[in-house]
Amino acid sequence: MPITSPGDGILAGAPAVVLVEPSNPQNIGAVCRAMMNCGLTDLRLVRPCAEWNDGSARAMAVSAKGLLESARVFETTAAAIGDCTHVFATTARPRDMVIPEMTARRAAVEIRALASSGATVAVMFGAERTGLQNEDVAMSNYVVTIPLNPGLTSLNLAQAVLLVSYEWLQAGMTDPGEAIDPTEGRMPARKEQLDAFFDHIEQELGLIGFFPNQDMRGHMMSVIRAWVTRTKPTDAELRMLHGVLSTISGRRLGGKPAHVPGTKGGQGYKARKRRSLSPCVPEDSAPAVDESGKPGEELRQSGCQSLVNQSSSGVEDLVGRSDEHL
């Protein structure tokens, strides 16, 4: 479920972030940016450094300067969490306390559940050098840990806030692990258009002797069909592929343009364009032509001619709107 606006339900019920005795203005600014990235907007500071909102903090906050300016300052931890019903304390050190402990990912699910029932939740983070004091942890309902390399478990303050905030954001997604479909929002080609393309490619592959035998022909075309269908090509993309096939087939004979039955010869631009508008068939395998010199019924029944005739304009359309389709 993508986030469509700041008022999206995914962002509802965000917990407050409480920083206890933060000592670096730049870290406070970076925390603001991390919070805003994930939709958290309630920042509370307990005894911060005197210059907590100076120029360096604003520089680190970037577009989250508004959150920095609206942060509330408290003299005690108890005052900062006084209106909260549930408090989560983050720590990297074992504490000799009987308090439920969970990972940040599990805590995110719990925070979502509590908020949905009307609870007011806060997550506390300690000072950069020492972390939360035992007195602060004792005020919490849950202890939150972030599993990391045992050889180095300490995090920068803003990093810790970002990880917890991100887990909270992901917990509100319908499927946090859902892959993004690059074809979403694009209208794929109709089945009849796909069938015409498969007829065209099968015709061209047959003419160049690609299929080892008739038995393998069906199997190999099934593989090609499954592969192309899986990509969900658009109408414009299919028309471009028709143009590719026509261009390749037009230069099949020794690298020179092959003569297309029913068209005039020549090497100029108009002649090349005429050839690109018709499927190319070598002279020795060309279908019969009628008295007017036009391709006979065998070629007309191939199902490809009408779409191939669009290939030139299709390529131009696709190139002109490459950002839209590719």
Specify the pLDDT at position 98: 79
Query: Which amino acid, one-letter code, is at 300?
Result: R
Query: Could you tell me if 32 and 167 lie in one domain?
Result: yes
Q: What's the CA angle centered on 303, arms 230 and 241, to 5 degrees? A: 45
Residue 176 lies in a domain: no
In this structure, are 19 and 163 located in the same domain?
yes
Would residue 255 count as lying in a domain? yes
Model pLDDT for residues 12-56, shown as the tens digit of each residue: 889 999 999 999 999 999 999 999 999 999 999 999 999 999 999
Q: Are residues 145 and 294 in the same domain?
A: no
In a domain, residue 71? The reply is: yes
Residues 138 and 58 in one domain: yes
If asked whether residues 155 and 21 sit together in one domain, one would say: yes
Q: Are residues 59 and 199 in the same domain?
A: no
Instruction: Enter the pTM of the model.
Output: 0.59
Q: How many domains does the chain have?
A: 2
Q: What is the pLDDT of residues 168-202, one digit of tens each?
A: 999 887 654 556 666 667 788 899 999 999 999 99
**Residues 148 and 29 reside in one and the same domain:** yes
Write down the pLDDT at residue 8: 60
Together in a domain, 108 and 198: no
Containing structural domain, residue 67 = 9-171
What is the per-residue pLDDT for 153?
Answer: 83
CB of 34 within 8 A of CB of 7?
no
The answer to whether residue 4 sits within a structural domain is no
Distance separating alpha carbons of residues 271 and 250, to the nearest angstrom: 11
92 within domain boundaries = yes
CATH of the domain at 44: 3.40.1280.10
Which residues of the chain register pLDDT less than 70? 1-8, 174-184, 251-326
My answer on whether 247 and 112 are in the same domain is: no
The residues pairing with 91 across neighbouring beta strands, listed in sequence order, are none
Residue 3's region, left for phi above 0, alpha for psi from -120 to 50, else beta, is beta
pLDDT of residue 95: 74
| pLDDT for 97 | 82
Q: State the residue for tokens 């065209």.
A: 200
Residues 164, 234 within the same domain: no
Residue 199 and residue 144 in one domain: no
DSSP letters for 72-117? EEESSHHHHTTT-SEEEEE-SS--SS---EEEHHHHHHHHHHHHHT
Q: Report yes or no on 158 lying in a domain.
A: yes
